[in-house]
Amino acid sequence: MAREFTSVGVVGLGTMGSGIAEVLARSGLDVVGVELDAAGVARGRAHIEHSTERALSGGKLDEGGRAELLGRITYTTELSDLGDVDLVVEAVPESLELKAEVLGQLDKIVRPEAIFASNTSSLSVTEIGVHTARPGKVVGMHFFNPAPVLKLVEIVRTVVTEPDVVTDVVAFAERLGKTPVVIGDRAGFIANALLFGYLNHAVRMFEQRYATREDLDAAMRYGCGYPMGPLALLDLIGLDTAYEILESMYRQSRNRLHAPAPLLKQMITAGLLGRKSGRGFYRYE
Ligand code: CAA
């Protein structure tokens, strides 16, 4: 029988971490959300409040359900508050050094039988896991943005992940109402390995003035039935995050498809990060 998880920690409450905390709380789990400082906590909380408002207006939640969901999340700036959780989802920015440091610290705090699930998009889960004394209990649990809406969770197993841990995390993802897929530890896993070459190619077409941003996006929406065009999707993902993912995949695969388009770097340097900064390929209110 699959292991029951009741209390879960989420470290990092950026776009993904806060979305994941919402998903976990929605399915009845007690969630402890950790951020670096009070400003980070406030951003994460505001993100969850805004997202659950959308769920409310879309009829996906009622007032009572929303209040219960919000009440199940506690916020802290101390990793030491995670001593009693059964599983930790790590969702800090995509830097191996940072993830290794966070997991190394957590290793000393969290009970040895607890599972560490990294939401990394493109780093090696194996490399992250070896920075703990429990690499057998480390898996990837990769959610998609927006996490409360998209059903996919990629469960990434390394060569040392215990088979029971994979089975338990798959059952856990199902309990969250998600559709899990299991994959070995390869750059970009399944979805990003296929998606990011396409997104990068769209930036290159735009960079070469091949078509307008609107026409590029319209082509994929109306010609291929995608819910969003590639440039609007990059704005949703965040150009900085997309760049990190491309760089990391390029480093691992040396596939030129994944060499980040120069325009991406220029936009990031100019502060155009997409929706989160109010402007990317498009402007947002
Ligand atoms: N909880 C539950 N449901 C919610 C919700 C919440 N917090 N917020 C919104 N919803 C529901 C809405 O009620 C709505 O439901 P219906 O379709 O039944 O009406 C649905 O979710 C869509 O929400 P909106 O109406 O607010 O938005 P939309 O229709 O404009 O769709 C979108 C927006 C979901 C982002 C859609 O355009 C989409 O799926 N785009 C593609 C996103 C994508 O490809 N993401 C993957 C990025 S790659 C990634 O994440 C990997 C990585 O490592 C970076």
Q: What is the pLDDT of residues 139-195, one digit of tens each?
A: 999 999 999 999 999 999 999 999 999 999 999 999 999 999 999 999 899 999 999
Atom of ligand 1 nearest to the CA of 122: 53
19/65 Cα distance (integer angstroms): 16
Catalytic residue (one of 47, 131, 142, 258)? 142
Cβ atoms of residues 70 and 49 within 8 Å: yes
Is 154 one of the catalytic residues?
Answer: yes
Is 248 one of the catalytic residues?
Answer: no
Q: What residues contact 182, with CB distance under 8 A and at least 6 apart?
A: 154, 155, 156, 157, 166, 170
Question: Is pLDDT at 92 greater than 80 in this prediction?
Answer: yes
β 115-118/138-143 pair status: parallel
pLDDT tens column, 183-212: 999 989 999 999 999 999 999 999 999 999
Residue 228, both tokens: 């969003």
Which DSSP helix (H) or strand (E) runs through 154? strand 152-157
β 115-118/73-76 pair status: unpaired
Catalytic residue (one of 22, 35, 90, 154)? 154
Q: Which amino acid is at 228?
A: M
Tell me the percentage of the chain whose pLDDT exceeds 90.
Answer: 94
Q: Which amino acids bring their CB within 6 angstroms of ligand 1?
A: 51-52, 54-55, 58, 60, 121, 144-146, 148-150, 192, 227-228, 233, 237, 241
Catalytic residue (one of 192, 200, 244, 258)? 192
Is 121 one of the catalytic residues?
Answer: yes
88/172 Cα distance (integer angstroms): 13
Domains along the sequence of the chain with CATH: 7-184 (3.40.50.720), 192-277 (1.10.1040.10)
Question: Is pLDDT at 1 greater than 80 in this prediction?
Answer: no
CA of 148 to the centre of ligand 1 (A): 8
pLDDT tens column, 41-52: 999 999 999 999
What values do phi and psi take at 83, rounded to 5?
-55, -30
CA of 114 to the centre of ligand 1 (A): 31
Atom of ligand 1 nearest to the CA of 195: 48
pLDDT value at residue 193: 94
CA of 94 to the centre of ligand 1 (A): 22
* Residue among 119, 138, 248, 140 at smallest CA distance from 193: 248
pLDDT value at residue 46: 98
Secondary structure of the chain: what % helix, strand, coil (to 5)? 50, 15, 35
pLDDT value at residue 35: 98
**Which of 51, 52, 54 for a ligand 1 pocket mutation test, highest count of atoms within 8 Å of Cβ?**
54
CA of 135 to the centre of ligand 1 (A): 33
pLDDT value at residue 24: 98
Q: Which long-range contacts (CB under 8 A, 24 or more apart) does 223-230 make?
A: 229/202, 230/198, 230/199, 230/202, 230/203
Is 7 one of the catalytic residues?
Answer: no
Task: Summarize the confidence of residues 104-131 as an average pLDDT.
Answer: 96
3-state secondary structure of 18: helix
CA of 179 to the centre of ligand 1 (A): 15
Q: Where are the alpha helices (DSSP H) in the chain?
A: 15-26, 38-57, 63-71, 96-109, 125-129, 163-175, 191-207, 213-224, 230-237, 239-253, 262-269
130/107 Cα distance (integer angstroms): 11
Q: How many Cα atoms occupy the beta-carbon half-sphere of 196 within 13 Å?
A: 31
